[in-house]
Amino acid sequence: MTEAVPSPADLLIVNGDIVTMNPEREVLVGGAIAVSGDRIVAVGSTSRLRGAYRPAVVVDAAGGVVTPGFINGHQHLTIDTLVGSCVPDAWTSAQAIRDWAIPMGRMHTGDDEELGATLTAVSSALNGVTMVVEAGSVSNPERLARGVAKVGIRATTGLWGSSIKGRPFSGSADEVLAHQCAVLDAFPPGGMVTGWVTLIGHGTADDDLMAGAAALARSRKVGMTMHMSPTNADPELYLERHGRRPIQHLKDIGVLGRHLLIAHGVWLDDSEVDLVLDTGTAIAYCPWAYFRLGQGVSRAGRHAEIFLRGGRISLGCDSANAGDQTDILRQATLAAGLAKDTRIDPSWFGAHEVLEMATIRGAEAVGMAHEIGSIEVGKAADIVIHDNSAMNWSPKGDPVTQLIWGTDGRSVRDVFVAGKAVVQAGKCVTVDVDLLQRAVSEGSLDLLRRSNLTVPYRWPMIPST
């Protein structure tokens, strides 16, 4: 009998409590993951994989929890990013869009796109987020892609479209769809940044544009995303304009389906919930945005119910002035707490369900569960090691309960995307973060000046003399 010769591998992660998110939801205590190129080639005990592989690099998880990279199903990478916490806390989203987002959108340059996208990608990676669905607002997708690529996470991108005259990104259905096609051609499926059909949503697109966008997504086999019903304003508008609620109208004009990821879907009635489920339409759920903007999720939101009925739900962080932080674990904690509290029942939904939303079920909602969302052989090596030396990991309890309730993205230690290190020892290693922060400070002031905006501080800001 001959002993097996160890196989080469590029990376071996050892001594982790590996929350695999495989179909059995196994957690391998003291487990290991072997990576070759961009793929996971083995998952098992540390002793077995140490004997089976000759790795180029060994990373010791030191008893920390290891998860798949987190999925963010709705994130504006640019515009707001450069003015985070500048928009007044007490404003409605309509005010913020009218008085800040639109003026800034008009003045936004390619340099702003790349800078904002780089910043958002770095902060996402530091929180363990490895895949982001760009929510729109992009005028220059090439520069956005360059920013994301520098950091090394995955993203979709799309050119925002609407048919409201006089607004940025607007035009006839044919004009907007031609722009959408150009993005899909430039960022085909399979890359780290891929093109999606991306509309603003709400009431900003006529039926020709809505239906044409859905047909384009179906024919090109790519995703489509847009906003709908974070508040009751969209149902009121659609009832007035079409005599039907938004999801029913979208169904009637052929827009719903598995290609579509609706951002928000907070104010849905019973029949709209059924339509979402029947058509396999996905929803990106961004609870902190609704809290920040006072949009009524605690009264109207039914995301946990939709999820438990088999619906396709991912979590999202929205934007720098609506949800604010790019930390999916914060969103997950709030999603779990909202579900428990609104029913005054802690037993029906919780930490394990929201971790599914953040990983494998989120990956499924964005159409990528064949590639990412779990730690399994053959999947892309998108892996997060959480630092169990942080005080909030002492003592160790149920790893999933602790991950959701006991900690947040700040205990992320190492992040690998497609097998490559993006974060090590809590620092982003792919870009110079000091340089980036200086550029962001200058870029923020410059964007405010060009947009003729000043920060309306609520309390007096006294300069030191």
Q: Of the ranges 22-30, 110-118, 135-143, 381-389, which one interacts with Zn ion (CB under 5 A)?
A: 135-143
Q: Does 96 bind Zn ion (CB under 5 A)?
A: no
| First-last CA distance in the chain | 82
Q: Does 431 bind Zn ion (CB under 5 A)?
A: no
Q: Of the ranges 26-34, 92-100, 313-321, 414-422, which one interacts with Zn ion (CB under 5 A)?
A: 313-321
Residue closer to Zn ion, measured from CB, 143 or 227 = 227
Sheet containing strand 193-195, strands side by side: 70-75, 129-134, 154-157, 193-195
In the chain, the amino acid numbered 48 is R
> In the structure encoding, which two tokens stand for residue 259, read together?
């290609």
Q: Of the ranges 91-99, 129-137, 206-214, 306-314, which one interacts with Zn ion (CB under 5 A)?
A: 129-137
Residue 283 pairs in a beta bridge with 262, 313
State the nearest-atom distance from the C-beta of 289 to Zn ion, in Å: 7
DSSP string, 288-354: HHHHHHT--HHHH--HHHHHHTT-EEEE--BBTTBB----HHHHHHHHHHHHHHHTT-TTSS-HHHH
Q: Of the ranges 10-18, 123-131, 134-142, 191-199, which one interacts with Zn ion (CB under 5 A)?
A: 134-142
Residue closer to Zn ion, measured from CB, 285 or 393 = 285
Select the residue interacting with Zn ion from 61, 135, 153, 440 (CB under 5 A): 135
Q: Of the ranges 33-41, 113-121, 132-140, 398-406, which one interacts with Zn ion (CB under 5 A)?
A: 132-140
Q: Does 199 bind Zn ion (CB under 5 A)?
A: no
Distance CA 29, CA 16 (A): 7
Q: Does 317 bind Zn ion (CB under 5 A)?
A: no
State the nearest-atom distance from the C-beta of 114 to Zn ion, in Å: 20
Query: Residue of minimal CB distance from Zn ion?
Result: 135
Three-class secondary structure of residue 262 per DSSP: strand
Helix-, strand-, coil-residue percentages of the chain, each rounded to 5? 40, 25, 35
Q: Does 404 bind Zn ion (CB under 5 A)?
A: no
Question: Residue 420: left if φ>0, alpha if ψ -120 to 50, beta else—which one?
Answer: beta
How far is residue 278 from each of residues 107, 234, 273, 281, 369, measured CA to CA in Å? 42, 21, 9, 8, 20
**173-186 helix and 141-151 helix, angle to the nearest 10 degrees:** 30
Q: Compute and round to an integer the Cα radius of gyration of the chain.
A: 22
Q: Does 320 bind Zn ion (CB under 5 A)?
A: no
> In the structure encoding, which two tokens stand for residue 104, read together?
């800034």
Residue closer to Zn ion, measured from CB, 290 or 393 = 290
Phi, psi of 449 (to 5 degrees): -65, -45
- Does residue 395 have a cis peptide bond before it, meaning omega lies within 30 degrees of 0? yes
Residue closer to Zn ion, measured from CB, 318 or 408 = 318
State the nearest-atom distance from the C-beta of 320 to Zn ion, in Å: 11
State the nearest-atom distance from the C-beta of 218 to Zn ion, in Å: 23
Q: Does 11 bind Zn ion (CB under 5 A)?
A: no
State the nearest-atom distance from the C-beta of 78 to Zn ion, in Å: 12
Contact (CB, 8 A) for 375 and 33: yes
Element (H, E) at 115: helix 110-126
State the nearest-atom distance from the C-beta of 347 to Zn ion, in Å: 32
State the nearest-atom distance from the C-beta of 139 to Zn ion, in Å: 16
Residue 380 pairs in a beta bridge with 39
Residue closer to Zn ion, measured from CB, 318 or 327 = 318
Residue closer to Zn ion, measured from CB, 55 or 230 = 230
Residue closer to Zn ion, measured from CB, 114 or 318 = 318
Residue closer to Zn ion, measured from CB, 264 or 413 = 264
Strands 65-68 and 383-386 come out as antiparallel
State the nearest-atom distance from the C-beta of 385 to Zn ion, in Å: 30
State the nearest-atom distance from the C-beta of 10 to Zn ion, in Å: 37
Q: Does 77 bind Zn ion (CB under 5 A)?
A: no
CB atoms within 10 A of CB 406: 18
Q: Does 329 bind Zn ion (CB under 5 A)?
A: no
State the nearest-atom distance from the C-beta of 324 to Zn ion, in Å: 12
Size of the site for Zn ion (CB under 5 A): 2
Q: Of the ranges 43-51, 130-138, 399-407, 412-420, which one interacts with Zn ion (CB under 5 A)?
A: 130-138
State the nearest-atom distance from the C-beta of 134 to Zn ion, in Å: 10
Residue closer to Zn ion, measured from CB, 71 or 135 = 135
CB atoms within 10 A of CB 435: 9
- From the list 80, 78, 91, the residue with the least C-alpha distance to 456 is 91
State the nearest-atom distance from the C-beta of 135 to Zn ion, in Å: 4
Binding site for Zn ion (CB under 5 A): 135, 318
